[in-house]
Amino acid sequence: MQVKRRADYQPPAFFITNVELTVHLHPHSTRVQSTLHIKRNGTHQHDLVLDGEQLNLVEITIDNQTVDHHKVTDTALIIPSVGDEFILSTVCTIAPDSNKALEGLYLSNGVYCTQCEAEGFRRITYFLDRPDVLATYQVTVHGDKKVLPTLLSNGNPVDKGDNDDGTHWVKWHDPHPKPSYLFALVAGDFDLLTDTYTTMNGKQVALELYVDKGKLDRGQFALDSLKRAMKWDEQVYGLEYDLEIYMVVAVDFFNMGAMENKGLNVFNSKFVLANPATATDEDFFNVESVIAHEYFHNWTGNRVTCRDWFQLSLKEGLTVFRDQQFSADMTSELSNRIKHVRVIREHQFAEDASAMSHPIRPDEVIEMNNFYTVTVYDKGAEVIRMLHTLLGKDGFRAGMDEYFKRHDGQAVTCDDFVSAMQSVTDLNLTHFSKWYSQSGTPEISVTRKREGDKTLITVSQRTPATADQQEKEDLFIPLGFSCIDATGQQYQDRAGKVTNGILLLDQQQITLTYDQQESELIPVVLANFSAPVRIKQSLDSTELLAIFLHANDDFNRWDALQQLYDWCISQYEANQQVDETIWEGLKSALSSEKTNFELLSECLIIPSFETLCQSRTNINVETLNAAREQFVREFAERFEPELLAIYQSISLADYHYDQQDVIARRCKNVVLAHLGRLQQNSELVQQHYTQSDNMTDTLGALKAAQQGHSDPFNALMDSFGERWKSDPLVLDKWFSLHATTEREDILSHLTMLQAHPQFSIENPNRVRALIGSFAFYNTSGFHALDGSGYEYLTDYLINLDSSNPQVAARLVTPLTQWQRFNKHHQHKMKTQLARLLEQEGLSNDVYEKVSKSLAYESSAE
């Protein structure tokens, strides 16, 4: 396996400036004729080495002359002694119907589509398949007119015609030079939804949304979301769309969420198709945010792209930040922030603690597809958010303007981004930019000390060593900081080191001095989750409740309760009681917010098993899971009357996806999930199910039933399974509920579900819904003491890896996070990882993650 290093970057030896492709589609023999205009970069004498995989080369000419001195390997086409500027033409054939890795050109339910990021274009034709080679493309697609009435590629359609043999063709031209990873081709028979958008400068853009036949009624929300995103990017960043047409195609087989190909986005149908009967509020939210994300890439990613794949966060961190801003504007700030914090704490912190730890700009990669991670995406977005905090809204916008002014049309680096930002601020960003190169989760300790007439609060940082980096330096951390007392009064530090609620922690430690007070001061740290760090601070339950009651920042308030829940659960883990006064405190805290449905529903969610893992080491799965269960059950029992009252106070008319309703519906369903644990409420749950006129409530009822007794749950699941048996996208919710149910016979149940007529190992959505949900979220089943859950996943992955390595490598993640668990589990997990590693023909994707994981000797061992 070849490791690629960021430090080894070399500019391309040749440039390709123009590409002409003519593609004749055929299931097992698609013919790709390519004409490339190539120029030597500089005066060297290197061979021309083009990337190519799984291609069958049929013809090759240079400037119309036959070539015979070339060499073809498994991964390249090598041509020695070429001129300084020439036209290379090749003809290759490829087999879309046997492409189950879903990379390159493949068939998805009869639809031809492509996925080229990161390195998929080389499975379509020979090319310099790297993001710093930018070319204009002219693409002519030929296909059967009856079976494939729609033939699409990037840019604008410029010509079309019929052939004599029942095929037809369409020619596309994309005037914007782009890297090969943004190439797309789609062909099929779709239903089409159209609209137009008039840009801020009065340009008309045709919008086209292609969906499976019969699914038109599920497309409107995505189209409307697109228009909202286009408007928002004009208003907030002054960015306008740059082609005459913007197309979105929904396909059923897709490895990720969606892909921002220039002018022709390809989407996992899960993130396009939504109506109230089939999609939950969360699905609607996701559709809007993924549509926006891909649209925003048109500037952050496409117009300004990455120099090399190590710079992936340049486009992904920034675009995630932009889509988060957009979603917060479209919906609400607080629940968005909490949603992102959960992702960071449950998944990114776990990644950083594992063998896969890497900086947001990685230094070494075996398989690039393994680096589309929560670190690059979500921690990357947190780093951009910190810049936004430091520069302020206007400063950040000025930096973005400068970035586009300098780099429009270029392939650049994260350093280029930071230096554009640097040019608009007096703050020195040199220290800040360490966030790009240092991996790991900083720990911030906060301690208090009385000294004479003052209180000293010391804030210090330390980043523990990670698998990839032993030595860590201090970071530049904008830390939300305030100080209150038990009555909620706010205090300022003497020297005014905290400004606008932010303490700039730019060294190992800073001590703040406060005038002596009658009562203890309570530091309130990390307002709005101002940095992706862990806080180490010992606050007692009274102080946490005081923060909940009095802090200004709603994130801090929510977080204080989460910490209190975590503490209560640790009491149960240690066989201790939770004091009556704490239950009383919790009751009055929650009832003080009983009409603030947004904060209330977030506060009624008990930290997940995965979140609890983050504050623990040497985890005994059974004990922690049981302690959490005990707490959640007692919570429901003690607060049943209050919960019932909240449930009854929320009444909603017909379903609408609007913020007020979404918040109320969420609160009602969160409350129901607690009530569902108590057998006496099973009728209420059934009634919720029966009376539901939308998927959000239907699923809410199923989840509530899942918490309770098995009889009503099974009956409701049967009814749901029957109702949606022909709708795989909806059935995924059902697969996932089955897979996360705690039951003795879970493994045989999973095996049975794999035989369901709608299940297919070839469809990543199905696999994620069933196998992914089990491995990531079925705590008791996956972590069964005898290791059978680990073994089950491993068997499945061995099979999956031979067809779809990308998805297999994603699903192996829970096994690679063995370091958090106790010896017993670690041993069982590593046994399975070792078994995987022994497999012949293991993909690079799985090999990279498994071998790293097994080589990692963590301090937890």
Residue 294 annotated among the catalytic residues of the structure: yes
Binding residues with Zn ion: total (CB under 5 A): 2
Q: DSSP alpha helices (H): ranges in 503-620?
A: 541-550, 554-573, 580-591, 597-603, 609-614
- When the beta carbons of 105 and 118 are compared against ligand B3K, the nearer one is 118
Q: Which of residues 527-586 bind ligand B3K (CB under 6 A)?
A: none
- When the beta carbons of 131 and 781 are compared against ligand B3K, the nearer one is 131
308 binds, among ligand B3K, Zn ion, none (CB under 5 to 8 A by kind): none
Which token pair is 124?
A: 């379509």
Q: How far is the CB of 806 from ligand B3K (least distance, A)?
A: 6
Q: How far is the CB of 320 from Zn ion (least distance, A)?
A: 7
Q: Which window, 252-260, 592-600, 679-687, 814-822, contacts ligand B3K (CB under 6 A)?
A: 252-260
Q: Please, are residues 163 and 89 in contact by the beta-carbon 8 Å criterion?
A: no
Q: How far is the CB of 726 from ligand B3K (least distance, A)?
A: 29
Please tell me which residue in 20, 119, 294, 543 is annotated as part of the active site.
294
| Residue 117 found at the interface with ligand B3K (CB under 6 A) | yes
Q: How far is the CB of 646 from ligand B3K (least distance, A)?
A: 38
- Strands 454-462 and 498-499, sheet pairing: unpaired
737 binds, among ligand B3K, Zn ion, none (CB under 5 to 8 A by kind): none
- When the beta carbons of 302 and 482 are compared against ligand B3K, the nearer one is 302
Residue 762: name the closest of 258, 186, 102 by CA: 102
- When the beta carbons of 316 and 732 are compared against Zn ion, the nearer one is 316
Contact with ligand B3K (CB under 6 A) among 20, 132, 233, 260: 260
User: Rounded to 10 degrees, what is the CA torsion of 128, 130, 136, 142?
Assistant: 70
Cα–Cα distance for residue pair 738/720, rounded to 1 Å: 12
111 binds, among ligand B3K, Zn ion, none (CB under 5 to 8 A by kind): none
Q: How far is the CB of 235 from Zn ion (least distance, A)?
A: 21
Q: Which window, 75-83, 185-193, 290-298, 680-688, contacts ligand B3K (CB under 6 A)?
A: 290-298
Q: How far is the CB of 250 from Zn ion (least distance, A)?
A: 17
Q: How far is the CB of 154 from Zn ion (least distance, A)?
A: 17
Cα–Cα distance for residue pair 808/671, rounded to 1 Å: 36
259 binds, among ligand B3K, Zn ion, none (CB under 5 to 8 A by kind): ligand B3K
678 binds, among Zn ion, ligand B3K, none (CB under 5 to 8 A by kind): none
x/- map, 345-384, ligand B3K, by CB under 6 A: ------------------------x--x------------
Q: How far is the CB of 482 from Zn ion (least distance, A)?
A: 35
- When the beta carbons of 317 and 676 are compared against Zn ion, the nearer one is 317
369 binds, among ligand B3K, Zn ion, none (CB under 5 to 8 A by kind): ligand B3K
- When the beta carbons of 378 and 598 are compared against ligand B3K, the nearer one is 378
Contact with ligand B3K (CB under 6 A) among 132, 252, 294, 610: 294
117 binds, among Zn ion, ligand B3K, none (CB under 5 to 8 A by kind): ligand B3K
Spell out the SS3 assignment of 667-736. HHHHHHHHHCCCHHHHHHHHHHHHHCCCHHHHHHHHHHHHHCCHHHHHHHHHHHHHHCCCCHHHHHHHHH
| Residue 293 found at the interface with ligand B3K (CB under 6 A) | yes
- When the beta carbons of 319 and 413 are compared against Zn ion, the nearer one is 319
Residue 124: name the closest of 105, 97, 108 by CA: 105
- When the beta carbons of 294 and 593 are compared against ligand B3K, the nearer one is 294
Helix, strand, or coil (residue 302) = coil
Contacts of 391-396 with CB under 8 Å at 24 or more apart are 391/421, 391/424, 391/425, 391/427, 395/424, 395/425, 396/421
Contact with ligand B3K (CB under 6 A) among 239, 259, 355, 627: 259
- Rounded alpha-carbon distances, angstroms, from residue 781 to 181, 716, 745, 764, 850: 39, 22, 9, 22, 22
Q: How far is the CB of 266 from ligand B3K (least distance, A)?
A: 10
The DSSP 8-state label assigned to residue 127 in this structure reads: B
- When the beta carbons of 417 and 821 are compared against Zn ion, the nearer one is 417
CA of residue 284 relative to chain centroid, distance: 16
- When the beta carbons of 16 and 258 are compared against ligand B3K, the nearer one is 258
413 binds, among Zn ion, ligand B3K, none (CB under 5 to 8 A by kind): none
CA of residue 31 relative to chain centroid, distance: 35
- Strands 104-108 and 502-505, sheet pairing: unpaired
Q: How far is the CB of 135 from ligand B3K (least distance, A)?
A: 19
Amino acid in the structure at residue 466: T
- When the beta carbons of 291 and 739 are compared against Zn ion, the nearer one is 291
Cα–Cα distance for residue pair 774/749, rounded to 1 Å: 11
Which token pair is 39?
A: 């120029």
| Residue 735 found at the interface with ligand B3K (CB under 6 A) | no
Q: Which window, 2-10, 293-301, 322-330, 453-461, contacts ligand B3K (CB under 6 A)?
A: 293-301
Helix, strand, or coil (residue 833) = helix
Q: Please, are residues 288 and 223 in contact by the beta-carbon 8 Å criterion?
A: no
Within 8 A by CB and 6+ apart from 301, the residues are 260, 315, 316, 319
Instruction: Give the phi and the psi of residue 694 in degrees, each rounded to 5.
Output: -155, 160
Cα–Cα distance for residue pair 636/633, rounded to 1 Å: 5
283 binds, among Zn ion, ligand B3K, none (CB under 5 to 8 A by kind): none
Q: Which window, 14-22, 289-297, 411-419, 480-488, contacts ligand B3K (CB under 6 A)?
A: 289-297
Instruction: Give the phi and the psi of residue 16 in degrees, each rounded to 5.
Output: -115, 120
Cα–Cα distance for residue pair 482/487, rounded to 1 Å: 14
Q: DSSP alpha helices (H): ranges in 331-448?
A: 333-343, 349-352, 374, 380-407, 414-422, 434-437
Q: Please, are residues 697 and 632 in contact by the beta-carbon 8 Å criterion?
A: no
Q: Which of residues 292-331 bind Zn ion (CB under 5 A)?
A: 316, 319
Query: First and final CA of the chain: distance in angstroms?
Result: 27
Q: Is the peptide bond before 350 cis (omega within 30 degrees of 0)?
A: no
- When the beta carbons of 186 and 685 are compared against ligand B3K, the nearer one is 186
Amino acid in the structure at residue 196: T
- When the beta carbons of 563 and 804 are compared against ligand B3K, the nearer one is 804
Angle at the Cα of 401 from the Cα atoms of 399 and 404, rounded to 5 degrees: 110
Residues in the chain: 861
Q: Which window, 255-263, 384-392, 438-446, 454-462, contacts ligand B3K (CB under 6 A)?
A: 255-263
Binding residues with ligand B3K: total (CB under 6 A): 12
CA of residue 732 relative to chain centroid, distance: 18
Q: How many CA atoms lie within 13 Å of 768's alpha carbon, on the beta-carbon side?
A: 18
Q: How far is the CB of 344 from ligand B3K (least distance, A)?
A: 17
Which token pair is 442?
A: 């900083």
696 binds, among Zn ion, ligand B3K, none (CB under 5 to 8 A by kind): none
| Residue 256 found at the interface with ligand B3K (CB under 6 A) | yes
The DSSP 8-state label assigned to residue 578 in this structure reads: P
x/- map, 316-335, ligand B3K, by CB under 6 A: x-------------------
Q: How far is the CB of 855 from ligand B3K (least distance, A)?
A: 24
Helix, strand, or coil (residue 281) = helix
Q: Please, are residues 427 and 504 in contact by the beta-carbon 8 Å criterion?
A: no
| Residue 845 found at the interface with ligand B3K (CB under 6 A) | no
589 binds, among ligand B3K, Zn ion, none (CB under 5 to 8 A by kind): none
Q: How far is the CB of 319 from ligand B3K (least distance, A)?
A: 7
Where do contacts with Zn ion occur on this chain (CB under 5 A)? 316, 319
Contacts with ligand B3K, residue ranges (CB under 6 A):
117-118, 256, 258-260, 293-294, 297, 316, 369, 372
Residues classed as catalytic: 294
